[in-house]
Structure 1
Amino acid sequence: MDLPPLSKDQLSAVLTSSRSPTELFNTLVEYEYEACLKSTPNSNESELLSLFYSTFFFAHLLTDQIYEARAMTQRMPQDLAQTDPSLQNCLILLRAVWQRKYESVYKILRELPWPDRLRPAVESYETYFQEKTLREVSRAYEAIRPAAAANYLGLDTAAAEQGDPAIIQKFTAVGWTWDGNKKLLHPKPLPPALGKDVRLYDEVSEIMALVGKYGG
Protein backbone atom coordinates (compact mmCIF):
# COMPACT_ATOMS: atom_id res chain seq x y z
CA MET A 1 0.00 0.00 0.00
CA ASP A 2 1.29 3.42 -0.93
CA LEU A 3 2.10 5.74 1.93
CA PRO A 4 0.25 9.05 2.30
CA PRO A 5 2.14 12.05 0.91
CA LEU A 6 4.93 13.45 3.03
CA SER A 7 3.68 16.20 5.34
CA LYS A 8 4.31 17.47 8.86
CA ASP A 9 1.12 15.85 10.11
CA GLN A 10 2.03 12.55 8.46
CA LEU A 11 5.49 12.61 10.00
CA SER A 12 3.97 13.22 13.43
CA ALA A 13 1.57 10.33 12.87
CA VAL A 14 4.38 8.01 11.80
CA LEU A 15 6.47 9.00 14.80
CA THR A 16 3.72 8.36 17.35
CA SER A 17 2.19 5.27 15.75
CA SER A 18 5.32 3.27 14.89
CA ARG A 19 5.44 0.14 17.02
CA SER A 20 9.23 0.00 17.11
CA PRO A 21 12.26 2.09 16.13
CA THR A 22 12.86 -0.31 13.25
CA GLU A 23 9.34 0.26 11.93
CA LEU A 24 9.86 4.02 12.21
CA PHE A 25 13.17 3.81 10.37
CA ASN A 26 11.79 1.63 7.58
CA THR A 27 8.86 3.97 7.00
CA LEU A 28 11.10 7.02 6.82
CA VAL A 29 13.38 5.24 4.36
CA GLU A 30 10.36 5.03 2.07
CA TYR A 31 9.92 8.80 2.33
CA GLU A 32 13.51 9.82 1.70
CA TYR A 33 13.15 9.94 -2.09
CA GLU A 34 10.11 12.23 -1.79
CA ALA A 35 12.03 14.45 0.61
CA CYS A 36 14.90 14.57 -1.86
CA LEU A 37 12.56 15.75 -4.60
CA LYS A 38 11.38 18.58 -2.35
CA SER A 39 14.98 19.61 -1.60
CA THR A 40 15.29 22.06 -4.46
CA PRO A 41 16.95 25.49 -4.42
CA ASN A 42 14.60 28.13 -3.02
CA SER A 43 12.24 25.41 -1.81
CA ASN A 44 9.36 26.62 0.38
CA GLU A 45 9.33 23.26 2.18
CA SER A 46 12.14 24.02 4.61
CA GLU A 47 10.03 23.42 7.73
CA LEU A 48 8.83 20.06 6.43
CA LEU A 49 12.33 19.04 5.36
CA SER A 50 13.75 20.05 8.72
CA LEU A 51 11.20 17.87 10.51
CA PHE A 52 11.76 14.95 8.13
CA TYR A 53 15.54 14.91 8.36
CA SER A 54 15.51 15.52 12.12
CA THR A 55 13.08 12.64 12.61
CA PHE A 56 15.08 10.42 10.25
CA PHE A 57 18.22 11.29 12.20
CA PHE A 58 16.67 10.11 15.47
CA ALA A 59 15.39 6.97 13.75
CA HIS A 60 19.02 6.17 12.91
CA LEU A 61 20.10 6.73 16.51
CA LEU A 62 17.23 4.66 17.90
CA THR A 63 18.33 1.74 15.71
CA ASP A 64 21.98 2.23 16.68
CA GLN A 65 23.09 3.27 13.21
CA ILE A 66 25.54 6.01 14.16
CA TYR A 67 27.74 5.79 11.10
CA GLU A 68 24.69 5.69 8.84
CA ALA A 69 23.32 8.77 10.62
CA ARG A 70 26.48 10.61 9.65
CA ALA A 71 26.02 9.55 6.03
CA MET A 72 22.40 10.74 6.12
CA THR A 73 23.48 14.20 7.30
CA GLN A 74 25.55 14.47 4.13
CA ARG A 75 22.55 13.60 1.94
CA MET A 76 20.21 16.20 3.41
CA PRO A 77 20.12 19.70 1.86
CA GLN A 78 23.37 21.31 2.90
CA ASP A 79 22.07 24.86 2.79
CA LEU A 80 19.36 23.81 5.25
CA ALA A 81 21.87 21.97 7.43
CA GLN A 82 23.86 25.19 7.80
CA THR A 83 20.92 27.33 8.91
CA ASP A 84 18.19 25.20 10.48
CA PRO A 85 18.31 25.10 14.32
CA SER A 86 16.93 21.56 14.63
CA LEU A 87 19.41 20.11 12.15
CA GLN A 88 22.22 22.04 13.84
CA ASN A 89 21.16 20.46 17.13
CA CYS A 90 21.18 17.03 15.50
CA LEU A 91 24.77 17.54 14.36
CA ILE A 92 25.82 18.68 17.83
CA LEU A 93 24.15 15.61 19.32
CA LEU A 94 25.82 13.35 16.76
CA ARG A 95 29.22 14.64 17.79
CA ALA A 96 28.52 14.04 21.49
CA VAL A 97 27.20 10.51 20.86
CA TRP A 98 30.14 9.67 18.63
CA GLN A 99 32.63 10.90 21.23
CA ARG A 100 30.73 9.16 24.05
CA LYS A 101 30.38 12.40 26.01
CA TYR A 102 27.57 11.15 28.19
CA GLU A 103 26.95 14.32 30.18
CA SER A 104 26.82 16.36 26.97
CA VAL A 105 24.37 13.95 25.33
CA TYR A 106 21.85 14.40 28.15
CA LYS A 107 22.38 18.16 28.27
CA ILE A 108 21.77 18.45 24.52
CA LEU A 109 18.64 16.29 24.64
CA ARG A 110 17.19 18.09 27.65
CA GLU A 111 18.20 21.70 27.17
CA LEU A 112 18.51 22.50 23.47
CA PRO A 113 15.31 23.68 21.79
CA TRP A 114 13.55 20.88 19.90
CA PRO A 115 10.29 21.27 17.96
CA ASP A 116 7.20 19.91 19.69
CA ARG A 117 6.58 17.47 16.84
CA LEU A 118 10.05 16.00 17.36
CA ARG A 119 9.74 15.70 21.15
CA PRO A 120 8.60 12.03 21.12
CA ALA A 121 11.76 11.06 19.24
CA VAL A 122 14.01 13.11 21.53
CA GLU A 123 12.47 11.60 24.66
CA SER A 124 12.57 8.09 23.22
CA TYR A 125 16.24 8.45 22.43
CA GLU A 126 17.07 9.69 25.92
CA THR A 127 15.44 6.55 27.35
CA TYR A 128 17.16 4.33 24.78
CA PHE A 129 20.54 5.95 25.42
CA GLN A 130 20.19 5.47 29.18
CA GLU A 131 19.26 1.81 28.81
CA LYS A 132 22.05 1.13 26.32
CA THR A 133 24.58 2.89 28.54
CA LEU A 134 23.38 0.99 31.61
CA ARG A 135 24.05 -2.30 29.81
CA GLU A 136 27.51 -1.12 28.73
CA VAL A 137 28.41 -0.02 32.26
CA SER A 138 27.12 -3.30 33.69
CA ARG A 139 29.50 -5.19 31.41
CA ALA A 140 32.45 -2.86 31.97
CA TYR A 141 32.50 -2.57 35.78
CA GLU A 142 32.43 -4.87 38.76
CA ALA A 143 32.16 -1.88 41.09
CA ILE A 144 31.66 1.82 40.46
CA ARG A 145 31.31 5.00 42.47
CA PRO A 146 27.75 6.38 42.59
CA ALA A 147 28.76 9.72 41.03
CA ALA A 148 30.40 7.97 38.08
CA ALA A 149 27.38 5.74 37.57
CA ALA A 150 25.06 8.75 37.80
CA ASN A 151 27.10 10.62 35.20
CA TYR A 152 26.64 7.77 32.73
CA LEU A 153 22.85 7.98 33.12
CA GLY A 154 22.46 11.74 33.27
CA LEU A 155 21.57 11.80 36.97
CA ASP A 156 22.62 14.28 39.68
CA THR A 157 26.25 13.37 40.38
CA ALA A 158 26.53 15.50 43.53
CA ALA A 159 23.47 13.86 45.08
CA ALA A 160 24.74 10.44 44.02
CA GLU A 161 28.09 11.12 45.70
CA GLN A 162 26.19 11.78 48.92
CA GLY A 163 24.42 8.44 48.59
CA ASP A 164 21.00 9.90 47.78
CA PRO A 165 18.61 6.98 48.36
CA ALA A 166 16.44 7.95 45.39
CA ILE A 167 19.40 7.69 43.02
CA ILE A 168 20.80 4.53 44.59
CA GLN A 169 17.32 2.99 44.24
CA LYS A 170 17.38 3.62 40.48
CA PHE A 171 20.31 1.20 40.26
CA THR A 172 19.21 -1.38 42.82
CA ALA A 173 15.83 -1.53 41.06
CA VAL A 174 17.55 -3.08 38.02
CA GLY A 175 19.49 -5.62 40.06
CA TRP A 176 22.59 -3.68 41.13
CA THR A 177 23.75 -3.97 44.75
CA TRP A 178 24.83 -1.13 47.03
CA ASP A 179 27.71 -1.44 49.49
CA GLY A 180 26.99 1.35 51.95
CA ASN A 181 30.21 0.82 53.85
CA LYS A 182 32.50 1.14 50.85
CA LYS A 183 30.17 3.53 49.02
CA LEU A 184 30.25 1.40 45.90
CA LEU A 185 27.63 0.17 43.47
CA HIS A 186 28.04 -3.31 42.05
CA PRO A 187 26.38 -3.73 38.63
CA LYS A 188 24.31 -6.80 37.96
CA PRO A 189 26.47 -9.13 35.86
CA LEU A 190 25.33 -9.44 32.26
CA PRO A 191 26.30 -12.01 29.65
CA PRO A 192 28.83 -10.80 27.07
CA ALA A 193 27.40 -8.95 24.10
CA LEU A 194 26.82 -11.21 21.11
CA GLY A 195 28.84 -8.98 18.86
CA LYS A 196 30.87 -5.82 19.08
CA ASP A 197 29.45 -2.63 17.61
CA VAL A 198 31.89 -1.94 14.82
CA ARG A 199 30.83 1.46 13.54
CA LEU A 200 34.03 2.47 11.76
CA TYR A 201 35.44 4.70 14.48
CA ASP A 202 38.40 5.41 12.23
CA GLU A 203 35.99 7.73 10.41
CA VAL A 204 35.80 10.02 13.45
CA SER A 205 37.89 12.69 11.77
CA GLU A 206 35.33 12.91 8.97
CA ILE A 207 32.39 13.33 11.30
CA MET A 208 34.27 15.94 13.34
CA ALA A 209 34.98 17.86 10.17
CA LEU A 210 31.31 17.69 9.22
CA VAL A 211 30.12 18.92 12.61
CA GLY A 212 32.79 21.57 12.71
CA LYS A 213 31.61 22.83 9.34
CA TYR A 214 27.92 22.98 10.21
CA GLY A 215 27.82 22.84 13.98
CA GLY A 216 29.74 26.00 14.76
Structure 2
Amino acid sequence: MANTPSTGQTWRHTIVNRRTILSAILLVLVIVVITSNQFWRWMYPIGYQTDIQQAARVSHVDPLLVASVIRVESKFQTEDVSHAGAIGLMQLMPQTAQWIAQQMRSEGLPYNPSLIGGSTADLSVPAINIHVGAWYIHYLIKQFNGNEVAAIAAYNAGPKRVKQWLGSGQWNGELSTITDIPVGETRHFVDRVFYNYNLYQRIYGGDKAWQAQS
Protein backbone atom coordinates (compact mmCIF):
# COMPACT_ATOMS: atom_id res chain seq x y z
CA MET A 1 0.00 0.00 0.00
CA ALA A 2 1.40 3.42 -0.94
CA ASN A 3 2.45 5.72 1.87
CA THR A 4 0.20 8.76 2.29
CA PRO A 5 1.62 12.02 3.66
CA SER A 6 0.70 12.81 7.22
CA THR A 7 -1.31 15.89 8.15
CA GLY A 8 1.88 17.44 9.56
CA GLN A 9 3.83 16.89 6.32
CA THR A 10 0.99 18.35 4.22
CA TRP A 11 0.87 21.44 6.45
CA ARG A 12 4.63 21.92 6.21
CA HIS A 13 4.50 21.63 2.41
CA THR A 14 1.69 24.19 2.30
CA ILE A 15 3.72 26.64 4.41
CA VAL A 16 6.80 26.15 2.22
CA ASN A 17 4.76 26.70 -0.95
CA ARG A 18 3.17 29.84 0.46
CA ARG A 19 6.54 31.21 1.52
CA THR A 20 7.97 30.49 -1.93
CA ILE A 21 5.07 32.28 -3.63
CA LEU A 22 5.32 35.22 -1.21
CA SER A 23 9.07 35.50 -1.76
CA ALA A 24 8.56 35.49 -5.53
CA ILE A 25 5.92 38.23 -5.25
CA LEU A 26 8.17 40.33 -3.02
CA LEU A 27 11.07 39.88 -5.44
CA VAL A 28 8.92 41.06 -8.35
CA LEU A 29 7.76 44.06 -6.32
CA VAL A 30 11.36 44.97 -5.42
CA ILE A 31 12.41 44.72 -9.07
CA VAL A 32 9.49 46.91 -10.15
CA VAL A 33 10.28 49.52 -7.49
CA ILE A 34 14.03 49.79 -8.10
CA THR A 35 13.59 49.95 -11.87
CA SER A 36 11.02 52.74 -11.67
CA ASN A 37 12.01 56.37 -12.17
CA GLN A 38 9.96 57.36 -9.14
CA PHE A 39 12.23 55.29 -6.87
CA TRP A 40 15.40 56.79 -8.30
CA ARG A 41 13.97 60.30 -8.12
CA TRP A 42 13.35 59.63 -4.45
CA MET A 43 16.94 58.41 -4.08
CA TYR A 44 18.41 61.32 -6.08
CA PRO A 45 16.05 64.27 -5.64
CA ILE A 46 16.68 67.69 -7.17
CA GLY A 47 15.82 70.68 -5.04
CA TYR A 48 14.83 74.11 -6.36
CA GLN A 49 13.70 72.56 -9.62
CA THR A 50 11.85 75.60 -10.96
CA ASP A 51 14.73 77.96 -10.19
CA ILE A 52 17.24 75.63 -11.87
CA GLN A 53 15.11 75.15 -14.97
CA GLN A 54 14.42 78.88 -15.35
CA ALA A 55 18.06 79.91 -14.82
CA ALA A 56 19.32 77.23 -17.21
CA ARG A 57 16.83 78.31 -19.87
CA VAL A 58 17.95 81.95 -19.63
CA SER A 59 21.64 80.98 -19.71
CA HIS A 60 21.26 78.29 -22.41
CA VAL A 61 22.87 75.55 -20.35
CA ASP A 62 21.69 72.04 -19.49
CA PRO A 63 19.63 72.26 -16.26
CA LEU A 64 20.79 68.79 -15.23
CA LEU A 65 24.39 69.95 -15.39
CA VAL A 66 23.51 72.89 -13.15
CA ALA A 67 21.74 70.52 -10.75
CA SER A 68 24.79 68.24 -10.71
CA VAL A 69 27.09 71.11 -9.77
CA ILE A 70 24.72 72.13 -6.96
CA ARG A 71 24.54 68.58 -5.60
CA VAL A 72 28.32 68.34 -5.41
CA GLU A 73 28.90 71.89 -4.18
CA SER A 74 26.26 72.13 -1.45
CA LYS A 75 23.90 69.13 -1.55
CA PHE A 76 21.15 71.73 -2.03
CA GLN A 77 21.87 73.40 1.33
CA THR A 78 21.33 77.16 0.87
CA GLU A 79 23.19 78.18 4.03
CA ASP A 80 26.41 76.45 3.01
CA VAL A 81 29.46 78.73 3.21
CA SER A 82 32.92 77.31 2.55
CA HIS A 83 36.04 78.06 4.58
CA ALA A 84 37.22 80.12 1.60
CA GLY A 85 34.05 82.22 1.66
CA ALA A 86 32.12 80.66 -1.22
CA ILE A 87 28.41 81.16 -0.69
CA GLY A 88 25.17 79.31 -1.29
CA LEU A 89 23.92 76.49 -3.45
CA MET A 90 26.53 76.90 -6.18
CA GLN A 91 29.33 77.97 -3.82
CA LEU A 92 30.12 81.25 -5.53
CA MET A 93 32.89 83.54 -4.39
CA PRO A 94 31.64 87.13 -3.86
CA GLN A 95 34.24 88.59 -6.25
CA THR A 96 33.26 86.10 -8.95
CA ALA A 97 29.56 86.83 -8.43
CA GLN A 98 30.24 90.56 -8.69
CA TRP A 99 32.09 90.09 -11.99
CA ILE A 100 29.33 87.83 -13.33
CA ALA A 101 26.65 90.38 -12.47
CA GLN A 102 28.62 93.02 -14.36
CA GLN A 103 28.86 90.76 -17.41
CA MET A 104 25.15 89.96 -17.25
CA ARG A 105 24.33 93.67 -17.12
CA SER A 106 26.52 94.35 -20.14
CA GLU A 107 24.71 91.58 -22.06
CA GLY A 108 21.32 93.03 -21.18
CA LEU A 109 20.38 90.03 -19.06
CA PRO A 110 18.53 90.21 -15.73
CA TYR A 111 21.10 90.81 -12.98
CA ASN A 112 21.22 91.65 -9.29
CA PRO A 113 22.41 95.24 -8.66
CA SER A 114 23.46 94.50 -5.09
CA LEU A 115 26.08 92.04 -6.34
CA ILE A 116 27.66 94.71 -8.52
CA GLY A 117 27.82 96.91 -5.45
CA GLY A 118 29.79 94.21 -3.64
CA SER A 119 27.01 93.07 -1.30
CA THR A 120 26.80 89.36 -0.50
CA ALA A 121 23.43 89.53 1.26
CA ASP A 122 21.49 88.26 -1.77
CA LEU A 123 24.03 85.68 -2.88
CA SER A 124 22.57 83.03 -0.60
CA VAL A 125 19.07 83.52 -2.06
CA PRO A 126 18.50 80.34 -4.14
CA ALA A 127 17.04 81.98 -7.26
CA ILE A 128 19.83 84.58 -7.41
CA ASN A 129 22.62 82.13 -6.63
CA ILE A 130 21.44 79.64 -9.26
CA HIS A 131 20.89 82.37 -11.85
CA VAL A 132 24.44 83.65 -11.42
CA GLY A 133 25.98 80.16 -11.27
CA ALA A 134 24.14 78.94 -14.38
CA TRP A 135 25.39 81.94 -16.36
CA TYR A 136 28.93 81.19 -15.18
CA ILE A 137 28.73 77.57 -16.33
CA HIS A 138 27.56 78.73 -19.75
CA TYR A 139 30.38 81.28 -19.89
CA LEU A 140 32.98 78.63 -19.05
CA ILE A 141 31.61 76.23 -21.66
CA LYS A 142 32.02 78.97 -24.26
CA GLN A 143 35.53 79.72 -22.98
CA PHE A 144 36.48 76.09 -23.58
CA ASN A 145 34.81 75.81 -26.99
CA GLY A 146 31.92 73.65 -25.84
CA ASN A 147 34.03 71.30 -23.69
CA GLU A 148 31.80 70.74 -20.66
CA VAL A 149 34.41 68.68 -18.82
CA ALA A 150 37.05 71.41 -19.04
CA ALA A 151 34.40 73.99 -18.09
CA ILE A 152 33.46 72.09 -14.93
CA ALA A 153 37.13 71.72 -14.03
CA ALA A 154 37.45 75.50 -14.45
CA TYR A 155 34.41 76.03 -12.23
CA ASN A 156 36.45 74.48 -9.43
CA ALA A 157 40.04 75.43 -10.25
CA GLY A 158 39.55 78.61 -12.27
CA PRO A 159 39.76 79.01 -16.06
CA LYS A 160 43.32 80.30 -16.02
CA ARG A 161 44.74 77.16 -14.38
CA VAL A 162 42.73 74.83 -16.61
CA LYS A 163 43.95 76.65 -19.72
CA GLN A 164 47.51 76.19 -18.47
CA TRP A 165 46.98 72.45 -18.00
CA LEU A 166 45.52 72.11 -21.47
CA GLY A 167 48.15 74.32 -23.07
CA SER A 168 51.04 72.46 -21.47
CA GLY A 169 49.61 69.04 -22.30
CA GLN A 170 49.21 68.03 -18.66
CA TRP A 171 45.59 67.18 -19.37
CA ASN A 172 43.70 66.80 -22.66
CA GLY A 173 40.35 67.99 -21.28
CA GLU A 174 38.57 64.65 -21.56
CA LEU A 175 36.57 62.90 -18.85
CA SER A 176 38.40 59.62 -19.47
CA THR A 177 41.72 61.24 -18.51
CA ILE A 178 40.76 63.25 -15.43
CA THR A 179 43.40 61.35 -13.47
CA ASP A 180 45.86 63.61 -15.31
CA ILE A 181 44.41 66.72 -13.67
CA PRO A 182 47.22 67.86 -11.35
CA VAL A 183 44.96 69.08 -8.51
CA GLY A 184 43.27 66.34 -6.52
CA GLU A 185 40.33 68.48 -5.41
CA THR A 186 39.52 69.34 -9.03
CA ARG A 187 39.85 65.70 -10.15
CA HIS A 188 37.42 64.67 -7.45
CA PHE A 189 35.03 67.54 -8.24
CA VAL A 190 34.86 66.76 -11.97
CA ASP A 191 34.41 63.04 -11.30
CA ARG A 192 31.54 63.64 -8.86
CA VAL A 193 29.78 66.22 -11.04
CA PHE A 194 29.73 63.95 -14.08
CA TYR A 195 28.78 60.91 -12.01
CA ASN A 196 25.71 62.81 -10.83
CA TYR A 197 25.13 64.28 -14.29
CA ASN A 198 24.97 60.83 -15.85
CA LEU A 199 22.60 59.66 -13.11
CA TYR A 200 20.35 62.67 -13.53
CA GLN A 201 20.25 62.20 -17.31
CA ARG A 202 19.08 58.60 -16.85
CA ILE A 203 16.52 59.51 -14.19
CA TYR A 204 15.21 62.87 -15.40
CA GLY A 205 16.33 63.03 -19.02
CA GLY A 206 13.00 61.83 -20.40
CA ASP A 207 11.15 64.71 -18.75
CA LYS A 208 10.81 67.65 -21.15
CA ALA A 209 11.22 70.16 -18.31
CA TRP A 210 14.76 68.87 -17.73
CA GLN A 211 15.89 68.76 -21.32
CA ALA A 212 18.59 71.23 -22.36
CA GLN A 213 17.44 74.28 -24.28
CA SER A 214 19.60 75.55 -27.12
TM-score calculated relative to the size of structure 1: 0.28
Per the normalisation by structure 2, the TM-score is: 0.28
